[in-house]
Structure 1
Amino acid sequence: MARLLRRIVFFGLLALVALAPLPYGSNLPWAWSLLSLWVGILVVVDAIACLMSPPEGERQFFKRIKIPMVLFFIVVAWIVVQATPGIVPAIAHPIWAEASAQLGIRLAPRVTIAPDLTWDALMVLLAYAGVFWLSARYGRKRENASLMLKFFVLVSTAYAVYGLVVYFGGWETVLWYHKTAYRGDLTSTFINRNSYATYAAIGLVASLVYLVKILARDFRDGGTARQITRKMLDGTLVSAWLPLVGVLTTGTALMLTHSRAGFVSGMIGVFVALLCFRFSRAVSSRFGNVMIAGAVLLAIGGFAISGAGLEKRFEYLEGAQKQRMHLYDAVSAAGTQALSTGYGYGSFESGFRPFKDVKLSPYTWSLAHNSYLEFYFGTGLYGLVTVLAAFLLVFYQITKGVFSARKDTFYLIIGTSAMVIVGAHALTDFSLQMPAMGIGFVFVVAMAFSRNVIEQNRRQQV
């Protein structure tokens, strides 16, 4: 029974990753609520299976994950305190006292100025944590990790193919709805081009690493360039059709989003992956040099073919950047007025409204276009520092394994590159706050984290 329940959880997780981008990137209340419910059910079923028959390696797994987990739940606990009425009245936002005086009724004071938005955002954050938890646990089995990698490459390729078909077909639609924004840009099933650009960049890195994993066998066996090429043409490239198609489609889709920050962060992620190949033990130095040269040529060729729209977007960079920097200054200044408490996680639009000046007032600014600043605005400085510590600790553990692991380096390279992509793009946008993008990101990172746990355990046994 425990084995059956685990199979249900594992394939339920894969189905979640596949379907999350479909309803507009799950960027609708019903979509992210259903997604969160789905994750919650999977976590409960997995817990039941563990009670019936605990899997092997639990002690080592908890040892590796306990510090990031504790840091994360410190932040969760603080968000709960923010949204719960009357816990610490002394640090409540003054808006509650003002509203009570104006309405003539007593309102329970809270730290957050928008409790419903805070609870909603916390629900999605816990869904991310649930996906990370399940992916890290089930990725410990080599066959599961291999299937997870292939599956994500397949899913990201499928959404890229859909986006390319819609784009070159000239249909300005997302599924069956006509676009009201980002016309002329490839967005696949996402509403926002920047969010899909990050998703496509992670898919590009996953496809690239998977392709290298297959091709590296021929280089590892040695031989002349002609012999290696013959072996590749005889069979290896046939078995590598999926990641090869994935590289071509996700790379093209990324450029056609015309997202400047998405493209730059994606190229940084690819460059990080290539550096990891070159200086780790995953492939020979000779193959690493070939990969770097090939990637540069492909990037130049792809940009020449489909980068015209992206080039135009870069021409408008200076004006847009000035406005964006003004927004960042305003958010930072507003955050200093609630440095320790924040205004409530997920309540940026409501909380920032009083701080908009003449330059910012014509726009709604429902998001800060910088995930770090928005988290700081919502949870305060200590909340930001704590969640960053958890993020950086996971990044350190994965990246350290890239240069010491023996068998699972490819998975660790994907995790490292994905974290660099999202970390870089979060400086100028909010892709991590789009549920489908966030789910795909933590799925890939947790897969890498799980393989690092196995590799660390293997070295200790040796």
Structure 2
Amino acid sequence: MSQQGRIHPTVVRQRAPSTARLPVAVPCAIVLLALLLNGSNSPFAVGLVLLLAALAVVFGLVGGVPERTRRECLVSIGLLAGLSLLVLLQVAPVPDSLAAPAWRDLRAAGLSHAAGHVSVAPAGTLDAWQRLALPFLVFLAGLLASRGDADAARAFRRLTIGIGLLSVACLLQFVLFPERLLAGEKPAYRDNLTFVFVNRNTAATALGLLVLMLLVRVTQAWRRLDRAALSVALRDGGALPPTVRLLPLVATLALLLLTVTALALTQSRGGIAATAVAVCVMIGLLGRGRPGPGPGVLRIAAGLCLAMAALAVAAPRTILRAAEQGLDDPRVCMLGGLLRAARDHAWLGGGFGAFAAIFPPYRDPACGVDGVWDKAHNFYLEGVIGLGLPFLPVLLVGGGALAAAYRAGLRDRRTMAAYPAAGLAGLVLVAAHGLVDFSLQIPGMAAFYALFAALTVTIARGRAPTRAGRAEAGGTPEAARWRRTAPVVLACGLILPPAIVMGARGMAEAASHSELRATARRLDAGMAVDPAVLDRLADAAVPARSATCDGTILRAALTVFLAGLDVTGRERDHGAWASRVDRAERHVRHALSCAPADGLFWLRLAMLRQAGGERADEQAMLMAFARKAAPAERRPLTGRLVHWSRLSPATVARARAVALADLGDGLAFLPVSDLRVALEGRSPAVEALVRRLLPGMGALRRAILAQAFPDLAGKALEKSARVVPPP
């Protein structure tokens, strides 16, 4: 058979009908949708994007597994399968020796006799698997859709243009309407551009990746430019010939300039620094001493790097903030607690996605009590805290597979060397920024990077085909081809059904509880709600009718239950009030059976039990568990101080050590406004403890407290108030 005859069947297979292949526009559209949904950080958005990504992988497998990226497909699906097994172990019942201590506390309180779990919030860990699977499935969809250089380059161009235009739109919105974020109101960072996200640091990571993608497009446009004809036209002053396509280069440069401006307006120190390092890495890789795009590209890249540095300098507030704060940052202050949490959960983790329930006992109140740390601001420490030491080999294998592909691309590719260079620079960007922020924990950002990695890996693997690939081009039988692709297809067959089911279930559950969440937000904002609506929502949320363990739904339902109690009142209708107390207590018991490490649920149970009749031993135990779960968070701490004043002197005496610890942290670290609320109706027993603790406060803090509570000011406080004026 002639050489043409041998390669003809391969050409026919590559040009299969479009129905047998996943269009490259599909994964691009999925990522753009994930970004437009504010980074897909809500349960409904995660479920929707996961469902679409899983269906895209199913459709992509119809066309087979690309030979050039078969290794990366196997690695990604293998890592996802391994992590999924670890998640299943964390949510399965285990002996006490492996279970988290919070489950023993639950049994000690007589609330459960079931076996414990490795995860402190198993339902939350199972739901968080959707966030874990999403980037892997988007990566697979990108590999299955881009089967050659042309497919990958076309998808890369579309993704760059789409996200670039989105960044320009967000830049205009920030300039014109800084209080808006896409179609809604901006909840935070109104002085910073946050792209499509709520957090400026995640925005900086995304915009940094976009800068790298635009640099690739600039190098490609410069390489295709007929520079000789352009030079002649400029020298002679004549019209530009048709071969000189200057518009793509100019448009890309303009888009790059606007993107760098947006990056500077994020004022993210870590994001800007990581992007600068990544750009330098990319320039260094393109400037190696081998045949490549040529020195002209290097001059352009160097000029762009200088322009980016100039624009970064044009953001003086970022530089001033970095100079003023230095290492005086809550993230640095919390590092000791994060390391202790990682040490205590090193073997099997404390539950993927359960960081918000794991970390509170390790939180140092000296670093601040405001807010809830639901993420570690360190990708690596959060991975170890959630998944244990098994997270590290997964990280090394995944990162090593990407680095190996990029190394091969830098060695084998010539005219398309900018793609693997950008891929390796992007890996450096997310790895460096992950040391101080949580960008990859945001589903939309993770999906964006996954597709970026898939497209750059596909182009990096475009030369030097494997022996199997050469055999296939020569006419390998379909049976042999199936043996090579069967592991990927079978592994996907195990992973994709749960992804599709959980994605659909997450969407349905989020939609069914949308009114409950909206009502809870209205109540938290101090808005009035019709009592009939409260009753209807409370009836639907009782554990007998809604057995969900979603933490956001449980907290929203608790807000509705307590609002119903306030509306009813004990004196108006004692029977109805007692019924609502019983219903609220059943809900809290169910919530603790789902998340026994939630300090707010322990506190609410203590309050409800005290409303039905106070028992000193029970209250002392419940308050001890409440402090153990969340000793230094503002809202639970303020609530515990209020509750201590409602308890009898006998109960306070029984739990004296816990009460002293709570009052000591409150006096030292809570804002004065919270202390006024907490100590306004203080009991004599609590007042005696406060008077004992006040002299031990620092001089400045004593002065502030003396001004806020003149009735508590003894001789020590009056003296310190005269010496140190309050700020």
Normalising by structure 2, we get a TM-score of 0.58
Number of the residue aligned with 1:447 = 455
Contact (CA 8 Å) 1:207, 1:243: kept in 2 or not?
yes
Unaligned runs of 5+ in 2: 1-15, 472-727
Query: Is 1:403 the equivalent of 2:399?
Result: no
Q: 2:88 aligns with which of 65, 80, 93?
A: 80
* Residue identity opposite 1:84 in structure 2: A
Query: Is 1:325 the equivalent of 2:347?
Result: no
Q: Which structure is larger by alpha-carbon Rg, 1 or 2?
A: 2
Number of the residue aligned with 1:91 = 98
Q: 1:131 aligns with which of 138, 142, 146?
A: 138
In structure 2, the CA distance between the partners of 1:144 and 1:282, relative to structure 1 (3 Å rule), is farther
- Distance in 2 between residues matched to 1:288 and 1:449, nearest whole Å: 22
In structure 2, the CA distance between the partners of 1:98 and 1:405, relative to structure 1 (3 Å rule), is same
- Distance in 2 between residues matched to 1:82 and 1:232, nearest whole Å: 69
Query: Is 1:46 the equivalent of 2:53?
Result: no
SS in 1 for 2:109: helix
Number of the residue aligned with 1:174 = 181
SS in 2 for 1:81: helix
Which deviates more from structure 2 when the two are superposed, residues 393-402 or residues 244-253? 393-402
Q: 1:366 aligns with which of 374, 378, 382?
A: 374
Contact (CA 8 Å) 2:80, 2:133: kept in 1 or not?
no
Number of the residue aligned with 1:209 = 216
Normalising by structure 1, we get a TM-score of 0.89
- Distance in 2 between residues matched to 1:418 and 1:345, nearest whole Å: 25
Query: Is 1:256 the equivalent of 2:265?
Result: yes
In structure 2, the CA distance between the partners of 1:233 and 1:440, relative to structure 1 (3 Å rule), is farther
Deviation at 1:406, TM superposition (A): 3.1
Number of the residue aligned with 2:46 = 32
In structure 2, the CA distance between the partners of 1:360 and 1:39, relative to structure 1 (3 Å rule), is same
Contact (CA 8 Å) 1:21, 1:436: kept in 2 or not?
yes
Q: 1:438 aligns with which of 446, 454, 471?
A: 446
Structure with the bigger RCO (C-alpha within 8 Å, sep 6+) is 1
- Distance in 2 between residues matched to 1:112 and 1:457, nearest whole Å: 44
Deviation at 1:424, TM superposition (A): 0.7
Contact (CA 8 Å) 1:117, 1:347: kept in 2 or not?
yes
Deviations 1:211-239 (A, max 9, x none): 11110234xx7869945977997633213
Number of the residue aligned with 1:23 = 37
Number of the residue aligned with 1:190 = 197
Q: Percent identity among equivalent residues?
A: 26
Q: 1:278 aligns with which of 261, 276, 287?
A: 287
Deviations 1:407-433 (A, max 9, x none): 432221221111111111000000111
- Distance in 1 between residues matched to 2:112 and 2:228, nearest whole Å: 83
Contact (CA 8 Å) 1:135, 1:443: kept in 2 or not?
yes
RMSD: 2.8
Contact (CA 8 Å) 2:349, 2:386: kept in 1 or not?
yes
SS in 2 for 1:346: coil
Q: 2:296 aligns with which of 279, 287, 298?
A: 287
- Distance in 2 between residues matched to 1:180 and 1:411, nearest whole Å: 37
Contact (CA 8 Å) 1:274, 1:291: kept in 2 or not?
no
Contact (CA 8 Å) 2:283, 2:301: kept in 1 or not?
yes
Deviation at 1:3, TM superposition (A): 3.9
Which deviates more from structure 2 when the two are superposed, residues 279-288 or residues 180-189? 279-288
- Distance in 2 between residues matched to 1:456 and 1:99, nearest whole Å: 59
Deviation at 1:313, TM superposition (A): 2.7
SS in 1 for 2:390: helix
Deviation at 1:311, TM superposition (A): 2.4
SS in 2 for 1:103: coil
Unaligned runs of 5+ in 1: none
Q: 1:164 aligns with which of 162, 171, 175?
A: 171
- Distance in 1 between residues matched to 2:394 and 2:270, nearest whole Å: 26
In structure 2, the CA distance between the partners of 1:191 and 1:148, relative to structure 1 (3 Å rule), is same
Number of the residue aligned with 2:399 = 391
- Distance in 1 between residues matched to 2:296 and 2:342, nearest whole Å: 49
- Distance in 1 between residues matched to 2:291 and 2:41, nearest whole Å: 37
* Residue identity opposite 1:453 in structure 2: R
In structure 2, the CA distance between the partners of 1:289 and 1:227, relative to structure 1 (3 Å rule), is farther
- Distance in 1 between residues matched to 2:425 and 2:457, nearest whole Å: 13
* Residue identity opposite 1:355 in structure 2: Y
* Residue identity opposite 2:463 in structure 1: E
- Distance in 2 between residues matched to 1:85 and 1:101, nearest whole Å: 18
* Residue identity opposite 2:384 in structure 1: Y
Deviation at 1:258, TM superposition (A): 0.6
- Distance in 1 between residues matched to 2:246 and 2:364, nearest whole Å: 57
Contact (CA 8 Å) 2:25, 2:155: kept in 1 or not?
no
- Distance in 1 between residues matched to 2:117 and 2:309, nearest whole Å: 53
- Distance in 2 between residues matched to 1:224 and 1:151, nearest whole Å: 28
Contact (CA 8 Å) 1:269, 1:420: kept in 2 or not?
yes
* Residue identity opposite 1:253 in structure 2: A
Q: 2:148 aligns with which of 141, 147, 151?
A: 141
Deviation at 1:72, TM superposition (A): 4.2
